[in-house]
Structure 1
Amino acid sequence: MIDRHPEDFNHLFQALADPYRRGFIEQLAKRPSSVKELAAPTDVQLPAVLKHLRVLEESGIVMSEKIGRVRTYRMRPDAFKTINRWIEQRQAEMNAAFDRLAAVMAEVPEERDH
């Protein structure tokens, strides 16, 4: 079963739906970064970057720490645990369905050409 409430799970997928947020995740997967470092390769203004990062933080993908005037973001170690588990469950269900189909097909005799 899924660890979170369905609305939290939906929020997680919505957070990943935005291409800018996925870009920030790609950067943060390599190393922790400040807001300015995350904004640098994009055409997004700092206030918009902060909004995107807030969505990622609220969904549990990233976390932040403020030291002095610099806020640094990093990936949560378990950021994708819930999604991975959900995908694994769907994959297991799909594999079981294919196994059942293969078993039924094995029981059906082959037709021979006369």
Structure 2
Amino acid sequence: MKPAVSAAWTYACKVAEVTIGQPKIATFGRMSVGIFQLGDGYAALLNICPHRAGLLCEGPICGTTRQTDKTEFVYERAGELVRCAWHGWEFDIRSGKCLVDDRLKARTFPVHLDGEDLYVELGR
């Protein structure tokens, strides 16, 4: 589906440039955005960690451990989180929500697919 004609939609990259587990860092003027391929589509995050302004999208893509009533570790959400390389804070790639401090949220952008092209809505 072709994005509606609007100044808010900006070409980001080709689909082939984004693979699961390896985001594409796209630059729009002075703004850096990480484009991620997830199991069910694409997502985009501002490449600035809201904790201490590190390069969020250049950290590892990961999952996290879930708290249980037993003395065990249960790893879940593999590939759904990005961990800031500076301090290890984890953020949900789709929503931008921080796992350790719900007051923090990374800025997200809608991503639209048009054939082999990905567009990001920067003006929202």
The reply to whether TM is greater than 0.5 is: no
Q: Which has the higher strand share?
A: 2
Q: Which has the larger radius of gyration?
A: 1
Q: TM-score, normalised by structure 2?
A: 0.23
Q: TM-score, normalised by structure 1?
A: 0.24
Q: Which has the higher helix share?
A: 1
